[in-house]
Amino acid sequence: MGSTQTCAIIAQKDDDGLKVIGFAKTKTSGVKKGAITNIELASKSIEEAVRSAEMMSGVRYDKVVVSISGAYTKSVDSVGVVNIPNHEIGIKEIHRAVSTAKHTANLPSGHEIIHVLPYNFKVNDLEHVDDPLGMSGNRLEVSTHIVISQESHIKNLKKAVELADLRVDNIVLSGYASSIACLDDSEKELGAVLIDMGGAICDMAIHTGNSIRYNDCLQIGSINITQDLSMALHTPLKEAEKIKLGYAALSMQPNALIQIPSMGDERRVNEVSLDVVSNVIYARAEETLMILAKILSDNRYANSAGGGVILTGGMTKLAGLDELAPATFDNKSVRLASARKDLINGFSEIFNDPENTCAIGLCLYGAGYFTPYELDSNEKLRYKGEIENFNRQPKQDFVLEKEERKETKSDFLGEDLQENDTISIQEQLEFEEKKEKKPNVVRSIWHKIMNQF
């Protein structure tokens, strides 16, 4: 849910992988700079986008994974240490260690946890363990990056979703979702800076290894370019937005003159040189990139990021940004990216549009593509392979429950066992013996009563 548009995607996971089956966008109302300012209007934007996606897919699903802007989040680091009595590290031990880090964190009052992201494990004296699962040791230490947000902001987000007749299944930091969709394994391993340049906000997340080490936000986006064009050209905002969106095509005609309606009197048309438009767009884009570069230059994690800078989001579609960005970020490789096509299938136009990166990342998060271990916004441990384990577990439980139910039913109602019942031969013999004994006991009591008369 962005400041300028709301994007809804419905994806389906089966044996062939993850596939997009529904997609829709709508203009966002009631949201400014990533924060909800009118719950009713924001709810209508969500409802319109979701209903259109449902019409496309033919599927109704009321639980959603929703993004939260980095503009209203903070982060703290925390360490958790636990003893391992049985000297073998399993999921429960990892959960206990991560939960300990959450409880020992110094969190400001009035804030809720969005993510607890482990970035380093230590087993006994062995440091930099990627995955401690199955290892032997008597002490497990975990270092975590914790993303938090104000309770009021989270409640407003949930209320807007619920008013659209939906339920929040999980809340994900938007920069984190975009990084899931964009970054490949090499970039994560070397360390990379992901910047999602949206309508009103540039979300930033720095990956090192398998987790986020730093997240920040710059409250400048493509809407600022629209406002600059509107003031410089003395034209309404909607006309300035059209010029911005059509600039890629206009830039192919550098000496052209364009006609635009005047502010306050749209019947009066002014002619403006394309050079003026180019200068306004170039100045704001350059300023935004320079501020981002300054933030990164003072960051120790960014300085060690060998994977470079990855830019995504709607603002990256501006003509000339691919040439301007590498010149701004000194000594760093820069690439403009959209969502990876090897993780999810569907309509190519959805993946090719960098505006959809965050929404696709939310689908991937819901399908299990996240850091190896983390506590989510529900304080539930998410871990790699949990989807497969979850899908198998109910079937096993159902079989056991079915067996118990059939055994009980057979015992009390005297029904014959079916051939497909998974009950042992010994149990069948015991059952037959009980079935034979019950009538004999009744018969013997009846004979004793009759003999007394």
Please spell the DSSP secondary structure of 272-310, one letter per residue: EEHHHHHHHHHHHHHHHHHHHHHHHHT-HHHHT-TT-EE
Nearest to 42 by CA among 69, 70, 67, 5: 5
Kindly report the pTM of this predicted structure.
Answer: 0.82
* 390 band by pLDDT with thresholds 50, 70 and 90: very low
Q: Which pLDDT does position 22 carry in this prediction?
A: 94
**Per-residue b/e over 110-130, b at no fewer than 16 CB within 10 Å?**
ebbbbbbbbbbbbbeeeeebe
* 405 band by pLDDT with thresholds 50, 70 and 90: very low
Q: For a pLDDT cut of 70, what percent of the chain falls above it?
A: 85
Residue 276 CB coordination number (10 Å): 13
Of 64-68, 350-354, 420-424, the least confident: 420-424
Say whether pLDDT at 453 is over 90.
no
SS3 252: coil
* 29 band by pLDDT with thresholds 50, 70 and 90: very high
What digits encode the pLDDT tens for the residues 114-132? 999 999 999 999 998 989 9
Pairing of strands 31-32, 126-129: unpaired
* 141 band by pLDDT with thresholds 50, 70 and 90: very high
SS3 318: coil
* 452 band by pLDDT with thresholds 50, 70 and 90: low
Say whether pLDDT at 320 is over 50.
yes
Q: Taking the chain, what is the end-to-end CA distance rounded to the nearest angstrom?
A: 87
Say whether pLDDT at 416 is over 60.
no
Say whether pLDDT at 399 is over 70.
no
The answer for 339, left when phi > 0, alpha when psi is -120 to 50, beta otherwise, is beta
- CA angle at residue 198 from 195 to 201, to 5 degrees? 80
